[in-house]
Chains A and B, each alone.
Chain A
Amino acid sequence: MTEHDSPDDGVSEQPTDEDPVRTDETPVRTDGGETGIVPPDDETPTWSERKERRQGLARTTYEYFERSRREDQDLREESDYVERDVLGFPTWPHEVVRNLALTSFFVGMLVFLAAALPPHIGAPANSGVTPPTILPDWYLYWSFGLLKLGPLNPDLALLGDQKLMADRTFGVLANLVVVGAIAVVPFINKGSARRPVEQPFWAAVGVFGVILSVTLAALSIKNLLPLDSHLLFDLTFLLPFVGAFITYAALKSMREGYMFELNRRYYRLRPPK
């Protein structure tokens, strides 16, 4: 604290009694380089100095910045990462040429599709004639199928077999439930496991979702499918469970061998101390 003495800055004198943690050690430079913006006196205040000029929440913020910088520094010092001895691939030409090649290939594929399978247009809008099949685009079939879940809408004996909400309200609510379920996944499933074999349950949940979206899409076009509609409705909810159970069983039985391989490779590279 005392090595950068600022003569006419009375405020920085007060909190010298603070920060007793690192006074005896070698001072670790926790402030990262320059900010890029040059203040008038050509001397960017460090975070310690800024901290000393602040009160309350702002001060707490700078204290936290110092701490996180120190954490980074410590982690960097104890890390045994091997630094690269060359810079990464230059952006030009290596990365740019590769990306341009991939991009042109992809755009070419789009143009080819567009030329080979051009879309056509139907009859103009007419509120008087209801077409035999009303369908959204294919990517909304799953949502459209969720609107047809009327038979699942619970009717309460208490209300004299009345339904709690209209069937279509139930369908819209089902959409919200699906989106909400997807949104909470990262807050439930944490940890460093990445491969499906490491977590058969979550892989099974994923397969359940994929198959459900496909069967819901099939349900939404039930009048086009040569299948009894009751059977289709049952299959819509049965098939996802079947798929999930098969996935779970398969991954569970694969898991032992996989984890053995994974651990062996890991410990060969980083033998336990």
Chain B
Amino acid sequence: MSLERPDDHDHDAWMEKRDFSRVERMYLTVLIWFDKRLRIVDYLEILEGLYYKVNMQMPKSHTEQYGLDNKFWYWYPLYALGSFSTLAYIVAAISGALLGFYYSPGALGASGDPTIAYESLTFIMTDLNFGFMLRSIHRWAAQVMVAAVFLHMLRVYFTGAYKEPRELNWLLGIVLISLTLLFGYSGYLLPWDQLAFWAGQIGVEMSLSIPLIGEWVAQLIFGGFTPNPATLQRMYILHVFFLPFVVTTLIAVHIAIVWMQGIAEPH
């Protein structure tokens, strides 16, 4: 008998003692290698707990309790508008990422001659395989998303779903609808055609008319007091970098709050 105490944590010896198959042994070796460094058992335990918690037995919902299923399901399409706007957002994100492979936001000069942005759009729409369809999908996804968001807000208003425990989500929804409109506006400017240029002009004038900080806002967001190449560059960064992060995060929080508070059912 040796003086050394038997090592309870000698996992290799334990693996030798058990008669594992080759697959099991490889799996365990990898698992142990990671677990020694990252202690992933703790996280697996949390995940397991989550798994059982989402499948937990829920009390009867209000509609079930009072037999209002017929009333509720009749209105079900209106209750899917939030999901539909999220889906449209995902479609727009995928098609937008693909468009981003071919688009470049340069605007050489706004004095009559075609610009880089406009030319890259012409390339996408005429030369690129499936490019016209890609832009079409992106644009329609954006339109449908905005429409779904508006209708979602009307549904929430007319079914009183914004009431007491859900005020925060209503406010978050207002922020989200504003950011959606900003998303749409910044995307509208990217083709840098006549409509985009003059819509940019309206935007510049709107920000210039803010008292006290108007000029500063116009400089910050539009990079000048008339639409210019800097405007296009800033709208591009807003559209593909800033807004996606912010809006995706806020949508996640919005949906998480709905998950925590439950759907406000009519009664």
Contacts and interface: CB of A to CB of B under 8 A. Distances in A.
Interface residues of A, number: 73
Interface of B: 42, 45-46, 49, 54-55, 57-60, 65-67, 80, 83-84, 87-88, 91, 107, 110-115, 118, 121-122, 125, 132-133, 135-137, 139-141, 143-144, 146-147, 150, 154, 157-164, 166-167, 170-171, 174, 178, 181, 184-185, 188, 191-199, 201-202, 205-206, 208-211, 226-227, 264-267
A193 to B, nearest CB: 6
B245 to A, nearest CB: 22
B210 A172 contact: yes
B42 A84 contact: no
7 contacts: A87-B57, A88-B55, A88-B58, A91-B55, A106-B88, A110-B144, A131-B195
A114 B136 contact: yes
A135 interface: yes
Nearest to B165: A186
Contacts of B42: 36-38
A269 interface: yes
* Chain B contact residues, majority secondary structure: helix
Contacts of B57: 83-84, 87-88
Contacts of A117: 136, 140
Interface in A162-181: 165-166, 168-169, 171-172, 179
Contacts of B185: 136-137, 140
A87 B172 CA distance: 33
A113 interface: yes
Contacts of A110: 88, 91, 137, 140-141, 144
B121 A147 contact: no
A265 B67 CA distance: 9
B158 A206 contact: yes
A121 B132 CA distance: 11
Contacts of B84: 106
A102 interface: yes
In the A-B complex, list the 5 residue pairs whose CB atoms are closest, starting with the nearest. Answer: A125-B197, A168-B209, A114-B136, A186-B167, A118-B136
B163 A191 contact: yes
Interface stretch (A60-68, A195-203, A223-231): A195-203
B67 A172 contact: no
A139 B181 contact: yes
Contacts of B197: 125-127
